[in-house]
């Protein structure tokens, strides 16, 4: 396909595709799927070889959030029967993190529900970061605490944080349909604060919330402009008890096309296969490793994931290798720029303009008998419980 040859050439040169090209990837047929995966896989291997970075989530504070994000099981008014607990002590969080590191995780992601941290919360998380770093040599720590106030990113950086995560989640045009208690601009501001403080910015999206192809391209192009070092691609986990519980819009094939589009738009960025991969990719997860160079190991914040042992077997069986702590994740040009605090450039940094095509149709929801509610399992182990974690 001329389209795929063009996209590969642009990806190898770190050039931004046109919006029309990105939309065309999402519009490819199932018959073309393996060609799409193979093409995007060439770009992935150019910048990341066959390495897979493992990340491990530690939910520091679960549930009881005052925000109304429709996709979230921890949201205000959620009836999802998730674990609810207040802040873990630093030593508890460090113990939870150690389980992930022992399973091969190179980065620990510390997450807390809420609108954003108070200064006291930042002190608490700073002590947790220090405890984790003291016990686990070489581990990266990423914080995800919500909207940041002035100076908080700098304090987290001083405490040893390597990165900060704050996802855009969806396009600016549809953001108000998903969340009303804060704005899309608030999220952009927090990513910029993290970047300015010298933290590695991590920001991604959630697919499967009923968005159009245009919305997906909008948010991925916005992410490229924001220039994060890592882009987590989440697939909606439709929790019972949340407003989006009936949104089963994804097939494994569509999930792969979304990942391929992200890789073409952000060729030299850590694309992370994140929440919902087991629910929506299912047995096609190994194909996704040809597109993403990073995954979460084990469980997520409020839902159970694939067994950590199965993750490692999947990586090995697919011909990939776990990235070690002695290896720099990002390509040299991005790693060098990040170390200088100038940002790596999500590709070349240029933005190509094109005449915008008509909006694509929202994909029809899967028939009720294809909604895999059996794959949505609430987390009952690990952080906040007395049971061993899945790592």
Residues with a catalytic annotation lie at 65, 69, 72, 109, 142, 202, 272
Inter-residue contact 56 to 107 (CB < 8 Å)? yes
With 0-12 / 13-18 / 19 or more C-beta atoms within 10 angstroms meaning exposed / middle / buried, residue 275 is: buried
Q: Two tokens at 213?
A: 């192809």
For residue 380, give every residue at least 6 positions away whose Cβ sits within 8 Å of its Cβ, in sequence order, or none: 83, 304, 387
Inter-residue contact 93 to 52 (CB < 8 Å)? no
Inter-residue contact 230 to 269 (CB < 8 Å)? yes
The answer to whether 142 is annotated as binding is: yes
The answer to whether 69 is annotated as binding is: yes
Inter-residue contact 226 to 192 (CB < 8 Å)? yes
Q: Two tokens at 121?
A: 């919360």
The answer to whether 202 is annotated as binding is: yes
The answer to whether 272 is annotated as binding is: yes
HEC string for 311-361: HHHHHHHCCCEECCCCCCCCCHHHHHHHHCCCCCCCCCCCCCCCCCCCCCC
For residue 308, give every residue at least 6 positions away whose Cβ sits within 8 Å of its Cβ, in sequence order, or none: 103, 297, 298, 390, 391
Inter-residue contact 77 to 241 (CB < 8 Å)? no
Inter-residue contact 111 to 142 (CB < 8 Å)? no
CA distance linking residue 106 with residue 94, whole number of Å: 14
Annotated binding-site positions for [2Fe-2S] cluster: 109, 142, 202, 272
Annotated binding-site positions for [4Fe-4S] cluster: 65, 69, 72
Annotated binding-site positions: 65, 69, 72, 109, 142, 202, 272
């Amino acid at each position: 396909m001329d389209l795929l040859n063009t996209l590969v050439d642009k990806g190898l040169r770190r050039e931004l595709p046109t919006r029309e090209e990105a939309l065309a990837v999402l519009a490819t047929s199932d018959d073309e799927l393996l060609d799409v995966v193979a093409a995007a896989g060439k770009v992935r291997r150019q910048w990341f070889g066959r390495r897979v970075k493992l990340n491990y989530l530690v939910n520091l504070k679960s549930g009881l959030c005052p925000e109304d994000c429709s996709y979230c099981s921890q949201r205000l008014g959620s009836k999802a029967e998730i674990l609810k607990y207040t802040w873990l002590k630093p030593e508890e969080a460090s113990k939870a993190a150690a389980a992930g590191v022992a399973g091969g995780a190179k980065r620990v992601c510390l997450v807390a529900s809420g609108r954003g941290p108070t200064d006291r919360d930042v002190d608490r998380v700073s002590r947790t970061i220090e405890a984790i770093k003291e016990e686990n040599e070489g581990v990266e720590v990423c914080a995800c605490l919500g909207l940041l106030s002035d100076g908080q990113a700098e304090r987290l950086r001083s405490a040893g944080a390597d990165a900060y995560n704050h996802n855009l989640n969806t396009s600016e045009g549809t953001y108000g349909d998903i969340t009303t208690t804060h704005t899309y601009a608030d999220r952009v501001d927090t990513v910029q604060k993290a970047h300015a403080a010298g933290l590695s910015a991590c920001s991604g999206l959630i697919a499967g919330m009923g968005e159009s192809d245009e919305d997906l391209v909008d948010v991925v192009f916005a992410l490229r402009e924001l220039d994060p070092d890592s882009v987590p691609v989440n697939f909606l986990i439709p929790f019972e008890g949340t407003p989006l519980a009936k949104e089963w819009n994804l097939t494994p094939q569509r999930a792969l096309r979304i990942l391929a589009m992200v890789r073409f738009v952000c060729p030299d960025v850590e694309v992370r296969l994140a929440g919902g991969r087991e629910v929506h990719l299912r047995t096609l997860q190994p194909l996704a490793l040809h597109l993403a160079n990073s995954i979460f190991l084990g469980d997520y914040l409020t839902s159970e994931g694939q067994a950590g042992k199965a993750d490692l077997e999947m990586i090995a069986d697919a011909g990939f290798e776990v990235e070690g702590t002695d290896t720099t994740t990002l390509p040299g040009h991005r790693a060098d720029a990040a170390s200088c605090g100038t940002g790596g450039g999500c590709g070349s940094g240029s933005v190509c303009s094109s005449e915008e095509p008509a909006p694509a149709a929202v994909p029809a929801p899967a028939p009720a008998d294809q909604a895999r509610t059996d794959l949505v399992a609430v987390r009952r182990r690990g952080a906040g419980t007395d049971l061993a974690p899945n790592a």
